[in-house]
Amino acid sequence: MASASPLPPIKELLPSLKGSPVTRYQSDFTRDIFVKQIHSHNDYWRDVPLYTALSYGVQSVEADVWHFEDDEVLYVGHHEAALGPQRTLASLYIDPLVQILSQANPENKFTSEQKKPNGVFDTWSSATLYLFIDVKTKGNETWPYVENALQPLLEKGWLTQFNGTDIVPGPVTVIGTGNTPAEYVSSLSTRSFFVDGPLANLTDSTPYTLNPIASGSLAQLIGVDGADQIDIKGLNESQLGLLNETVTKAHSMGIMTRLWDVPWWPVEKRNQVWSQILAVGSDFLNADDLELASEFLS
Ligand SMILES: *[C@@H]1O[C@H](CO)[C@@H](O)[C@H](O)[C@H]1NC(C)=O
Ligand SMILES: *[C@@H]1O[C@H](CO)[C@@H](O)[C@H](O)[C@H]1NC(C)=O
Ligand SMILES: *[C@@H]1O[C@H](CO)[C@@H](O)[C@H](O)[C@H]1NC(C)=O
Ligand SMILES: *[C@@H]1O[C@H](CO)[C@@H](O)[C@H](O)[C@H]1NC(C)=O
Ligand SMILES: *[C@@H]1O[C@H](CO)[C@@H](O)[C@H](O)[C@H]1NC(C)=O
């Protein structure tokens, strides 16, 4: 048997192998990105929605959707003037997710025995991505189009399900918020979407199987009129106690928590309040600046 030519020194070999199809890691779309419990508030405002969030390991994104009469398309934007024909729920979120998840779940002889699909994060493939759909137009009229838009993900088996008794996790978990018709959603015996729970008002009619996450205004929870009324030194003892109580109650019901109306400025106040939010164990940091939030959590 002829011997192969000897290998060059490894330092010379490495650059020549970089990017080679033989050595390139197969599922490297989100390689080296660690999952962080950050909620990308108004995600569609970023230059590149969804992808920017994923590049920071953000586990939760939010799209505001609008429906108009005699139109099956759902448009994405903060208010009417920001809407355009190209920016739709399908083009900004559903289609890219189908592409990313198709790449993360190749069908071949190596994967044929795999029971559960991989999620979008390569470093934690069982982590779900929360997709908040904030319904801006009438809930009952808009929701059927949301269900329609979710079909490509549903058909592939990539949505977290409620099977009648329990949650069966999948790569993407859809959480309706805003005008989402909560009564209608809770009336379904099985479904592939959930509702954002009222963090301030959790009761027996808001089980985790309907509301896996609950959200609330921090200012409202601690009884002040706005985040600007929170002291520069952060929450005082009684405010922290109220926050702790609310988060603890949600957790005892199996519900994760997200707070909005959180101060961003000045820095001293922001850092103090964020630390307090994390200290009581709240799950998602609501963020407009993903880089900042991601650094805070590292
Ligand atoms: C939506 O429909 C449900 C029943 O399907 C009804 O109970 C509810 O009042 C309706 N909501 C609105 C805002 O029309
Ligand atoms: C629902 O899912 C749970 C958890 O995976 C499982 O134990 C239960 O049997 C499932 N129920 C149905 C009706 O499939
Ligand atoms: C909680 O419920 C009370 C009484 O039903 C209501 O006054 C209050 O606005 C609710 N708070 C939130 C945040 O929904
Ligand atoms: C915390 O601040 C609130 C609102 O300003 C106030 O009502 C409360 O008495 C303060 N509690 C303590 C322990 O300082
Ligand atoms: C929250 O409350 C629990 C007990 O109810 C306590 O053990 C814990 O230290 C509190 N956390 C904070 C940050 O105050």
CA geometry: angle 74, 78, 79, nearest 5 deg: 85
Q: What 3-state class would DSSP assign to 161?
A: strand
Q: Domain residue spans in the chain?
A: 33-195, 199-282
Q: Please, which residues bridge with residue 36 across strands?
A: 58
* Model confidence, pTM: 0.88
Show contacts of 152-155: CB within 8 Å, 24+ apart. 152/94, 152/95, 152/98, 153/94, 153/97, 153/98, 153/101, 154/192
pLDDT at residue 12 in the model:
77
The ligand that comes nearest to the alpha carbon of residue 246 is: 5
CA geometry: angle 171, 143, 104, nearest 5 deg: 15
Which of 225, 233, 238, 244 maximizes ligand 4 atoms within 8 Å of its Cβ, making it the mutation to test the pocket?
238
pLDDT in tens, 13-27: 667 766 665 555 555
pLDDT at residue 142 above 70? yes
What is the C-alpha to C-alpha distance for residues 156 and 264, in angstroms, rounded to an integer? 39
pLDDT in tens, 156-203: 999 999 999 999 999 999 999 999 999 999 999 999 999 999 999 999
DSSP string covering 171-201, please?
Answer: SEEEEEEET--HHHHHH-SSBS-EE-EEGGG
What is the C-alpha to C-alpha distance for residues 87 and 66, in angstroms, rounded to an integer? 11
Which of 115, 166, 188, 189 maximizes ligand 2 atoms within 8 Å of its Cβ, making it the mutation to test the pocket?
166
pLDDT at residue 9 in the model:
76
pLDDT at residue 82 in the model:
80
What is the C-alpha to C-alpha distance for residues 141 and 148, in angstroms, rounded to an integer? 12
pLDDT at residue 11 above 60? yes
pLDDT at residue 133 above 70? yes
What is the C-alpha to C-alpha distance for residues 77 and 79, in angstroms, rounded to an integer? 6
pLDDT in tens, 223-251: 999 999 999 999 999 999 999 999 999 99
